[in-house]
Amino acid sequence: MNAVLYLRVSTTAQAVDGFGLDVQEQACRAYAKQHGLRIVAVFRDEGVPGTLDAADREGLMSALTRLQDGDADVLLVARLDRLARSLTVQEAVLAQVWKMHRAMHSADIGAILHDDPDDPMRTAMRQMAGVFAQLDRGMLTKRLRDGRKAKAAKGGRAVGPAPFGYRAHDGMLHLIPTEQRALRRMQKLRSKGMTCQQIADVLAAEGHPTKRGGRWTSPVVSRILSRPPVPAEQIAAPTTTKEPA
């Protein structure tokens, strides 16, 4: 049988559990080899929360499209929490895969069997695992939020890493002119109806730098555009002095 791999990692997951895209792919390929699955495509969502619906994840939607088109019989993930960290999202994706008469496999536990009215425990066990994945995500978010509050109480900045367009210094956010130009450009392109991939292509062609020197991708653009505006009180007043290092 043919299989498509779906790999996902959020920024938080990368920092905390080390279960990155490369590790996930190795686990999936080992599973595929052991179970006679032929991998025909690999799709990734990098820096994308597992609580997002499938429609908001370009990698997952591409994988589901390949299943719908009949190019593959199996959607393979390293673990079910890579598919979703929300029980409702997990169950919705599984239902969609099964509706296509395709199979869902997870490298750590094998084939995810269809619901069976004669075996309600099967469904309950799967959903319980989903509940605990959702709980784990919630607890992690709470720990990070508590850490930020503690930092703020000591005079630090309480809103996490500086978002694109800014750098943190002395507890405030300072504008980065080159990133601000890129930010305005992507917002303008988005207002014209461009997709995140089209915007990424334009930014790359025009030579706008990313925050860490990597390449512009659809998930990177989507992540930046989905962030809420930075509150004005967190932005330092512009000065004529050199920007802080």
* Residue numbers of the domain that contains 92: 2-111
CA 9, 13, 19, 22 dihedral sign is: positive
Each residue of 62-84: pLDDT tens digit?
999 999 999 999 999 998 888 88
Please identify which residue in the block is written with the tokens 């075996």: 119
Question: Does a structural domain hold residue 135?
Answer: no
What is the three-class DSSP state of 119? Answer: coil
What's the pLDDT score for residue 54? 84
User: Which residues make Cβ contacts (< 8 Å) with residue 220, sequence separation at least 6?
Assistant: 46, 47, 200, 210, 214
If you average pLDDT over residues 52-71, what whole number do you get? 89
For residues 162 and 107, membership in a common domain is answered with no
What's the pLDDT score for residue 22? 87
Number of domains within the chain:
2
Closest CA to 21 of 36, 3, 34, 6: 6
- Return the structure tokens found at 102: 């395709």
Q: What CATH code is carried by the domain that includes residue 66?
A: 3.40.50.1390
d(C-alpha 105, C-alpha 113), whole Å = 9
